[in-house]
Amino acid sequence: MNWYEQAVSRKAAMLHDLKGLLGIPSIFDPDTAAPGQPMGAGIAEALRYMLDLCKAEGFRVCNHDGFVGYAEYGPVDAEHYIAVLSHLDVVPISGEWVTPPFEPAVRDGRIYSRGAIDDKGPAMASFYALKIVKELGLPLKHRIRLIFGTDEERTHRCMEKYKELEPMPACGFTPDAEFPIVCAEKGQINTRIMFPSGHPETGTKGDFELISFHSGVVANMVPEAAEAVVVGDPERLKDMEHEYLAYCNEMQLQGKVERSDQSLVLHMAGKAAHGMEPQLGINAGLALIHFLKDLAWNGSAGHFLSTVDTLLYNDVYGQALGIAMEDDISGPLTVNSGLLQYEPQGETFFHINLRFPICGSYDELLKKISSKIAAYHLVMEPPSLKKPHYVPEGHPMIRALQETYLAETGQAAELLSTGGGTYAAHFPMGVAFGPLFPGMESTAHQSNEYIEIELLLRATAIYARAVSKLGNLEL
């Protein structure tokens, strides 16, 4: 069986269906949340679109009140099912785009759109993989279930709902990371570190007043933009402007200034990256804070700026927080601060999106963080926690996926780990399997996100072979 030829023969139809899915703005929208669409209208539309495709193909479909849906193919009375999990929600739009993010555009062999690689393209590849198996009439011992989540980029409420209502699969994979096989996922801690009002330094006198500071749009992205609004004496503001531009030039950063008689708005541009790999980005908020921290400030601004700089600047591995660690399976702990805010009359905080190796314990990490921030008079909000996840090398599914990858690529399937939090961790025997090949650029969560059309076809071929093989696995 030439699985790649089967995928290529369906290229036009696949691209047509994918463009339709990519055109739906499936960003979490609480303003349009309602019964049947708990994540908002756009995400509900994307789920209906995908389930309608599956129903038209003859798959058995189910929509659990808009939280999560699935499509199933294989013997109705089969005891076990194999899960293929993807998500239809996407992160908010940020940065400059060549073409509108929800008007998919094909350029140079790529489809550009928000969600192209994370995770609508892979979701469509998994659908066409099962479609190939069905249209070829290949036998299956187990049911194959395509599960479509709606809240992967936020709280995974969709998977919690799924686990309440459905039995667990025998095993499964998610096409939401990279090839060959990601069998280990780091644990996560997500929380806001708050600066209480009425801090002892609130009455500090200085040359400038920080009216506001904002950076970031979501916690799991390295922020690519930051803004600080400053007021003060006009002459001192002129000095600040010159110093800021000199700082940006020295540090090879992209900054600009809007100036009026008694205020400055300082803008900083960074480089976006996924929160699991903060070392690949440039945190615009921290870069701007590093400049501001040494100036003389009225009120509590100096405490905010110096504290954030001390605990986070140029330190994605948690050394300043006293939590650095790593292991051979899943690598080092990383810290991303995707949201930073200073509002004298509102909330002042920084958010940490922390990813720790499987050797770590979030109980111990929380103790260390709490002890560290207490010295700065800070308070941690109740955190969102995710345990590390690991599937051992000897599991039959691992062997089957290794054989599949070798057969389709000619390359041995090395076992990997990730700092990302995928749906695989919700099931005891879940792994991430593609779609990116080793060395390929990931534009997930970035402006001008894309998927290569050739990658889409190759992934579809791999998933079709994998579905056929797992569907007949001896469990």
Active site residue 152: yes
Q: Give the model's confidence band at 428: pLDDT under 50 very low, under 70 low, under 90 confident, else very high.
A: confident
3-state secondary structure the chain: CCHHHHHHCCHHHHHHHHHHHHCCCCECCHHHCECCECCCHHHHHHHHHHHHHHHHCCCEEEEECCCEEEEEECCCCCCCEEEEEEECCECCCCCCCCCCCCCCEEECCEEECCCHHHHHHHHHHHHHHHHHHHHCCCCCCCEEEEEEECCCCCCCHHHHHHHHHCCCCCEEEECCEECCEEEEECEEEEEEEECCCCCHHHHCCCCEEEEEEEECCCCCECCCEEEEEEEECHHHHHHHHHHHHHHHHHCCCEEEEEECCCEEEEEEECECCECCCHHHCECHHHHHHHHHCCCCECCCHHHHHHHHHHHHCCCCCCCCCCCCCEECCCEECEEECCCEEECCCCCCEEEEEEEECCCCCHHHHHHHHHHHHHCCCCEECCCEEECCEECCCCCHHHHHHHHHHHHHHCCCCCEEEECCCCHHHHCCCEEECCEECCCCCCCCCCCCCEEEHHHHHHHHHHHHHHHHHHCCCCC
Share of the chain above pLDDT 90, in %: 88
Write the class of the CATH domain 188-386: alpha beta
Q: Mean pLDDT over all residues of the chain? A: 95
172-193, pLDDT tens digit by residue?
A: 999 999 999 999 999 999 999 9
The arithmetic mean of pLDDT across residues 219-225, rounded, is 93
Active-site position among 17, 89, 185, 449: 89
Active-site position among 72, 152, 153, 452: 152
What is the reported pTM?
A: 0.75
Q: Give the model's confidence band at 329: pLDDT under 50 very low, under 70 low, under 90 confident, else very high.
A: confident
Give the residue extent of every domain in the chain. 3-185+388-470, 188-386
Active site residue 241: no
Q: Give the model's confidence band at 418: pLDDT under 50 very low, under 70 low, under 90 confident, else very high.
A: confident
**Fold of the 3-185+388-470 domain:** Aminopeptidase (3.40.630)
Q: Give the model's confidence band at 436: pLDDT under 50 very low, under 70 low, under 90 confident, else very high.
A: very high
Q: Give the model's confidence band at 261: pLDDT under 50 very low, under 70 low, under 90 confident, else very high.
A: confident
Q: Is the pLDDT of residue 202 over 60?
A: no
pLDDT of residue 201: 53
